[in-house]
Structure 1
Amino acid sequence: MRKYAFIAFTILTASLLPATAMAHPRLLSSSPAANASVAKPATITLGFSETLVAPLSGIELTMTGMPGMAKHGPVPISDFTTKVTGKVLTVKLARPLAAGTYVLKWHAVAADQHRIEGNFSFTVR
């Protein structure tokens, strides 16, 4: 009998939680945008659908190509800081990005504690 009471209590409690607590964050906007060609950015901004958990959210940035260098291998970019304010993750680069192609991999964690990941490319001219 206790087993059924516990199950009923768990289902009732879960149904009373706000729907946002069960949602996963989604990337809603980015600057630079996916597949965009931009002038040398010094800041990258990602906007999400949920408030993020700062220590668990971030990015990896890799230069994947450089003009005039056909055999340019991937170069990880690590000279940046990240800051999370509510639903926005801001990346402050130590210096503007050089001309080339980049892949930005992001990961975000919201109140549900599930890590969601994605990536997109952009070009700096």
Structure 2
Amino acid sequence: MRHVLIAAAALAAILPGAALAHPKLLSATPAANATVAKPTKLSLTFSEKLLAPMSNVELVMTGMPGMANHAPMPIKGFRTAVEGDGKTLAVTLPRALPAGTYDLTWHVVAADQHKVEGQYSFTVK
């Protein structure tokens, strides 16, 4: 058992730390639980460079003012691209989002090939 622990410690010492990390969401616009005015672009910034073809978002309107029983409505027709330093996933909408509540679900893949995902909500006034 002691040999296994020594081998694991030696392996951890020679492998670069970045290869063992996963991308983490650092910031988002709009932010989680924020209330914003009719956005036309959303952005998510991560701790590592992303692989563009393997990273994406889903956007669903979950509530609309004046409609108590609004069924979830997927938002379609937007473009998603990795921008800037390769760490920002940008969503360009064809038109401003109407007033309501939204759930944004994201999944990204960085150089380590691990898929990381998350979700948050925001409101448009």
TM-score normalised per structure 2 = 0.87
Long gaps (5+) in structure 1? 1-7
Question: Which residue matches 2:89?
Answer: 89
Matches of 2:30 and 2:21, distance apart in 1: 25
How big is each residue's C-alpha offset from its partner over 1:63-104, in whole Å with a ceiling of 9 and x where there is no partner?
000000111100000110011131000000000100000000
Long gaps (5+) in structure 2? 1-6
TM-score normalised per structure 1 = 0.87
- Matched length: 115
Matches of 1:92 and 1:15, distance apart in 2: 42
Question: Which residue matches 1:117?
Answer: 117
CA offset at residue 22 of structure 1?
1.5
Identity score, percent = 63
CA offset at residue 15 of structure 1?
4.8
* CA-based RMSD: 1.4
